[in-house]
Amino acid sequence: MSLASNIILPMLQIVVIAGLAPLVKGFINKIEARLQCRRGPSIFQLYYNLVKLLQKDAVVSETASWIFRATPYVTFVSILIITLLVPVLSSHVPVNFAGDVILIIYLFALGRFFLVLSSLDTGSAFGGMGGSREMMVSAMAEPAMMLSIFTVSLAAGSTNLGNITSTMLNTSIILLNPALFLAFAALAIVIIAETGRIPIDNPYTHLELTMIHEGMILEFSGRYFALIEWASCMKLLLLLTILVNTFLPWGVAPGLTFSGLILSFAVYLVKIGFFAILIVILEMSFAKIRLFRIPNLLGTAFVLSLLAIISHYMVS
Amino acid sequence: MGTSRQDYLDTLTSRFYGTVTITKSFLENEIYISTSKEKLIDICSYINSTFQASLSAMICNDERSLNKYFKIYYVFSLPEEDTFLIVNIPVSEQEPVFPSITPKIPAAHWYEREIKDMFGLEPVGHPDPYTLVLHGNFPDNTYPLRKDFDVQTRLPHLESKLPFKRVEGEGVFEIPVGPIHAGIIEPGHFRFSAVGDSILYLDAKLFYTHKGTEKIFETMPYTKALFLAERICGVCAASHATGYCQAIEKVAGVGIPPRAKFIRTILLELERLYNHIGDIGNICAGAAFHLGSAHGFRIREYLQLLNETITGNRYLRGMITIGGVRFDINNDLKKYIVTLLTDIKKDFKELTDIMFASSSLMDRLETTGRLPAETARGLGVVGVAARASGIGRDARVNHPYAAYREVDFDVPVFYNDGDVYARVRVRVDEVYQSIYIIEQCFDKMSEGSIKTSVKELPPYRQALSYVESPRGENIYWIMTAPDNRLFRYKVRSPSFCNWPAIPYTIPGNIVPDFPLINKSFELCYSCTDL
């Protein structure tokens, strides 16, 4: 058990998240293309991109400092650590002792902080613009994210995501609980904002003036860019994982049996696929909202999460 | 019609008795009014304000070899009449200055700066007399369109001295964009002064790829110059080719067969169709409405495939020729076109229904990038942008050419808005009108030849030619030289008129909306930067 939980489970989590993340994004791109009557790139295209980019040398601006070079590693490593803090296939979390959901939120913030710094570092006009917009979005998304996760923590009596998942599995707290339902809705909006999808940001655009996340990372190339792209794929998958395993934990293996993990993996794929399709439908139905309307949308998420906490106390 | 044209002239003669010489051209709708520098501003502002005639073009011509003077022609288009009043003044080499009419008629501002760059004639009293085309990286006293400038001259490249206008204040920062852009488009530099994401001021610097096109026209036999004319711009090939052919046919005094006129009309409308539908897709892309852009491009692709079926070229090149058109459209092809257009109409209707039902897209389009009618009129804005700002100008109606006199159609005008949405609506409505025009052309087209031959060009003849391209009114002015060559061929594209309007639509908007506004004008760099 200790071998399994100390060595195999961390490896498994990293392989699943890091390995599947490009596929999830490729899947989203493919479905999106099909809905636009295009053939679209292969769902494995992001792997090809990563392989290609990892073999390439990086071009770095002359004005850039060590921050620019460190950023890809900081971002990637912070995401890797989060991978070990999130229950993926089993409600056991590999590094249970290290930290809880607050650490996860701060690790996301750390990666973003370095990305914003590096966007200013090169002296490119688009970088600074993307960086300042990213900060505006995250300043509003983070409180909503915290409140909605705290709602679940209150309901489950723990801030450890593994404990939350197993509590949710074992008790009859389900999504019909108004507090959880509101928290779920708030977190869903936050995930759209955090991962830079339409209607907040447009990941496909070449128009620099409209970019948020893509504007920040414009100056990265080669292996640096590969790490950042990979990290952003993993971030999307991790946030979806948190969403499904916290609110809809059915199928997550309570222990570490082989058959349990296989079943859990299958259920996990279905759930992630379902939410990926939801993202596609959302992206196809909306234009990007005006930049100055983003606060309205994220304000909505914040209010929902606040209502979630209030209703938790009122209902229970 | 004849009487009222005469009325205008009588009014002018009596008002400016003794200071103007009115010459009727061999072309009925062109009237040349020669005057002196002293009277120029009075006459131009009189024509502009009393007759409500808009300044369609300003052409400078180096006629020193003929009469020792540079001549500047001011082309005014009468609003109700198919008539151009062409005021002209001589400017001598010894005194290379001319009075600027920009303070009275702002539409002249770019023309005068262009003349200063290309001919070295100074507009006196111009409020913003900076270099426009040459960016100050040409050596001093180099005037490419003067006849004594050899077309083979190789110039040293100097650092540009052109300053940008800046806004100063707390929290104001500059965002330089371009000249190289992310998409495969031509160069243009935009300098935003912004506080956060709100734009205070936009300065645009274009003309990065001056190609000397107008100069090259003067070195070519007229038959060969057609190919150059057709390649001025990729997406207006049919318009530029028609404009050139019409100019040659006019100076040669040749009428083209009616069937050729109808086929030209069909081609021009096909060009409008694929441009407008593609532009609507592009505007959706600017707002990140991917469903709209994907389907816009899909329908555009059908149209470009159709272009290839008809002419052998996706951009309609090579079909229009001097004296008519090269290929006929037979009955099978006609049936194919009509069926395809019917399908496209249905397809397009579905697309626009989805677009206009999407509240998130509408939120992006409405109130964005407003161009007030007054500004549009002052700057002489043309085409889709003008019609979206309540100015009902369309060369197809004001100065009919090809077969436009024989077909019936509406020109959509939107009066109160001038925003991105209005420009989209103008395009949408024009798509249906274009299909309607094509259907009528097929109905009314009679059998017959499709080409007459043009042989000799009489020397030193002048004529205007005009085409309503998808972007607006193209004006061409031609003057022939001996030996079947061109003395001068001036191209005034709609983009040249509309570019200066963009900075006026920007302040008050936010930086991420600029690409959307820019796309709603859909201006061409190549047409501007000859």
* Sequence-distant (≥ 6) Cβ neighbours of residue B300 within 8 angstroms: B274, B277, B278, B281
Task: Please say if the pLDDT value at position B230 is more than 90.
Answer: yes
**B177 and B96 share one domain:** no
Task: Please state, in angstroms and rounded to a whole number, the distance separating the CA atoms of residues A198 and B287.
Answer: 10
Using a CB-CB distance cutoff of 8 angstroms, which residues of chain B are in contact with residue A205?
Answer: 285, 288
Containing domain of residue A72, as a range?
2-315
The burial class, CB within 10 Å (0-12 / 13-18 / 19+), for B180 is: exposed
The pairing of beta strand B97-99 with beta strand B122-124: parallel
Nearest Cβ partner for B512 among A38, A199, A209: A209
Enter the tokens of residue B478.
């031609």
Return the pLDDT at B1. Answer: 45
- A residues 51..110 contacting B (CB < 8 A): none
Containing domain of residue B304, as a range?
213-520
Phi then psi dihedrals of residue A76, to 5 deg: -65, -45
Q: How confident is the model at residue B163 (pLDDT cuts 50, 70, 90)?
A: confident
Q: How confident is the model at residue B313 (pLDDT cuts 50, 70, 90)?
A: very high
Cα–Cα distances (Å) from B500 to B112, B163, B202, B359, B456, in that order, read: 13, 17, 11, 31, 40
> If you write DSSP's letter for every residue of A85-148 in order, what string do you get?
HS-SSBS--TTTTT--HHHHHHHHHHHHHHHHHHHHHT--HHHHHHHHHHHHHHHHHHHHHHHH
Task: Please state, in angstroms and rounded to a whole number, the distance separating the CA atoms of residues B461 and B479.
Answer: 5
**Cα end-to-end distance, chain B, whole Å:** 36
In what side-by-side order are the strands of the sheet with B472-481?
B462-469, B472-481, B485-492
Q: How confident is the model at residue B3 (pLDDT cuts 50, 70, 90)?
A: low
Nearest Cα to Cα of residue A108 among A130, A77, A136: A77
Q: Is the peptide bond before A199 cis (omega within 30 degrees of 0)?
A: yes
Say which range, A16-20, B79-83, B380-384, has the weakest mean pLDDT.
Answer: B79-83
User: Between chains, do A133 and B197 touch, taking CB under 8 Å as contact?
Assistant: yes
Using a CB-CB distance cutoff of 8 angstroms, which residues of chain B are in contact with residue A38?
Answer: 294
Of B187, B205, B223, at which residue does a domain stop? Answer: B205
Task: Please say if the pLDDT value at position B295 is more than 80.
Answer: yes
Q: Is the peptide bond before B179 cis (omega within 30 degrees of 0)?
A: yes
**What's the mean per-residue pLDDT of chain B?**
90
CATH assignment of the domain containing B29: 3.30.460.80
Phi then psi dihedrals of residue A146, to 5 deg: -60, -50
Task: Please state, in angstroms and rounded to a whole number, the distance separating the CA atoms of residues B55 and B52.
Answer: 10
User: Residue B101 domain-assigned?
Assistant: yes
Partner residues linked to B209 by β-bridges: none
Residue of B nearest to A215 (CA): B512
* Sequence-distant (≥ 6) Cβ neighbours of residue A176 within 8 angstroms: none
* Sequence-distant (≥ 6) Cβ neighbours of residue B169 within 8 angstroms: B195
Task: Please state, in angstroms and rounded to a whole number, the distance separating the CA atoms of residues B211 and B145.
Answer: 12
Mean pLDDT of B59-69: 91
Choose the mutation target among B191, B202, B290 for the interface with A, i.e. most A CBs under 10 Å.
Answer: B290
Neighbours of B373 (CB within 10 A): 17
pLDDT tens string B177-213? 878 888 778 888 888 888 888 888 888 888 888 888 9
Of B110, B131, B147, at which residue does a domain stop? Answer: B110
- A290 contact B CB<8A: yes
CATH assignment of the domain containing B442: 1.10.645.10
Partner residues linked to B76 by β-bridges: B55, B85
User: Residue B163 domain-assigned?
Assistant: no
3-state helix, strand, coil in chain A (%, to 5): 75, 0, 25
User: Between chains, do A287 and B360 touch, taking CB under 8 Å as contact?
Assistant: yes
Neighbours of B5 (CB within 10 A): 18
Of B110, B134, B162, at which residue does a domain stop? Answer: B110
Q: What is this structure's pTM?
A: 0.91
**B192 and B225 share one domain:** no
pLDDT tens string A46-91? 999 999 999 999 999 888 899 999 999 999 999 999 999 999 988 8
**B51 and B99 share one domain:** yes
Most confidently predicted of A156-170, A265-279, B127-141, B178-192: A265-279
Nearest Cα to Cα of residue A217 among A291, A130, A141: A130
B60 is in an annotated binding site: no
Task: Please say if the pLDDT value at position B335 is more than 70.
Answer: yes
**B345 and B251 share one domain:** yes
Cα–Cα distances (Å) from B324 to A113, A257, B302, B475, B514, in that order, read: 65, 82, 26, 19, 42
**B189 and B274 share one domain:** no
Helix (H, G, I), strand (E, B) or coil at B244: helix
User: Residue B529 domain-assigned?
Assistant: no
Residue of B nearest to A284 (CA): B291
Name residue B209's amino acid.
T
pLDDT tens string A146-193? 999 999 999 888 888 888 888 888 876 566 788 888 999 999 999 999
**B483 and B460 share one domain:** yes
Enter the tokens of residue B197.
């994401």
- The CB-side HSE value for A201 (13 A sphere, CA atoms) comes to 27
Nearest Cβ partner for B290 among A207, A210, A283: A283
**B85 and B187 share one domain:** no
B524 is in an annotated binding site: yes
Using a CB-CB distance cutoff of 8 angstroms, which residues of chain B are in contact with residue A207?
Answer: 182-183, 286, 515
**B217 and B201 share one domain:** no
Partner residues linked to B192 by β-bridges: B175, B202
- The CB-side HSE value for B35 (13 A sphere, CA atoms) comes to 24
Nearest Cα to Cα of residue B322 among B232, B267, B255, B236: B255
User: Residue B339 domain-assigned?
Assistant: yes
Helix (H, G, I), strand (E, B) or coil at B297: helix
ipTM: 0.88
Per the structure, the count of domains in chain B is 3
User: Between chains, do A290 and B513 touch, taking CB under 8 Å as contact?
Assistant: yes
* Sequence-distant (≥ 6) Cβ neighbours of residue A146 within 8 angstroms: A102, A105, A305
Per the structure, the count of domains in chain A is 1
Task: Please state, in angstroms and rounded to a whole number, the distance separating the CA atoms of residues A267 and A251.
Answer: 6
**B178 and B319 share one domain:** no
Residue of A nearest to B364 (CA): A290
Nearest Cβ partner for A287 among B177, B182, B288: B288
Task: Please state, in angstroms and rounded to a whole number, the distance separating the CA atoms of residues B339 and B111.
Answer: 44
